[in-house]
Amino acid sequence: VSAFDTESFIIDLKDRFFKNYPIVPLRQQIGGTPAIMAICEDDDGIFWFLQERMGLYTYNAKTGELKSYKDFPQTKNLELHSVVTLEKSKQEGKIWVAPLSNTVIYQMRQENLHMYLDKEINLSHTAPNPGSIRTLYEDRTGNLWIGTDNGLFMYSAKDNVSMPIHSVGGRVSAITQTTDGMIWICTEDGYLYKIKSPEERESFYIKKDFMAMDATSDGVLWLGTKQGNVYRYLSDTGEL
């Protein structure tokens, strides 16, 4: 759990333990309590996180060692001062990074906390007005789905090309995938989309300002709204 103005922490629901991570080196750097705005753990157990006003860091929780993107020649000039989301990639050892209020996505990796840029995707090369990136989701086939405040895009790792999904518009707030392989998109203006392929989709207008969504292994979608309400959506019956 990334925490604002207090220690970040881990809650283990299986073994029922709770552990704080005060990140002492960062406290020493900023002269105060860390404000972690986004967090992600890679395949090596290294945490990537965004410290408010300081940018992207890699952190080894076992040794306490900490590195900033500014420490490395390849990343110090990238737009990593503020990040809207960090997502672990299904490609081993890699993560996706989306800078705040931007059309660019970085695929990155680390070796001994040293950050490397492997790939850059720029949606402005795909559409004239793609909007700023808000959310990312990599599906089980390796396609990266990208939600912006002006619609939906898909990046095919196989073909190394990104494309707009013209049938989905509005401010995309969350993306997930159910066990049947369907991609689900929700928007702030109350739409829920079910996507089988870039050319095939269904839409449902539910009149809720959705902000978050996830799917459980039984095919049920869970959706959260701006008002703090949580809903269960049964995809086979359409019941909310």
Start-to-end CA span in the chain (Å):
28
Buried b (16+ CB within 10 A) or exposed e, 107-125: bbbbeebebebebebebee
pLDDT in tens, 138-194: 999 999 999 999 999 999 988 999 999 998 989 999 999 999 899 999 999 899 999
195: left (phi over 0), alpha (psi -120 to 50) or beta: beta
Distance from C-alpha of 133 to C-alpha of 126, rounded to nearest angstrom: 13
Q: What is the DSSP letter of 124?
A: G
In the chain, the percentage of residues whose pLDDT exceeds 90 is: 69
Tokens of 30: 């900023």
Burial class (CB in 10 A: 0-12, 13-18, 19+), 155: buried
**For position 9, what pLDDT does the model report?**
77
pTM > 0.85:
yes
Each residue's pLDDT expressed in tens, for the chain with a length of 240 residues: 877 777 777 778 787 777 788 888 998 988 888 889 999 999 999 999 999 989 999 999 999 999 999 999 999 999 999 999 999 999 999 999 999 999 999 999 999 999 999 999 999 999 999 999 999 999 999 999 999 999 999 999 889 999 999 989 899 999 999 998 999 999 998 999 999 888 888 999 988 899 999 999 888 899 999 999 999 998 777 788
Angle, CA of 134, 138 and 143, to the nearest 5°: 110
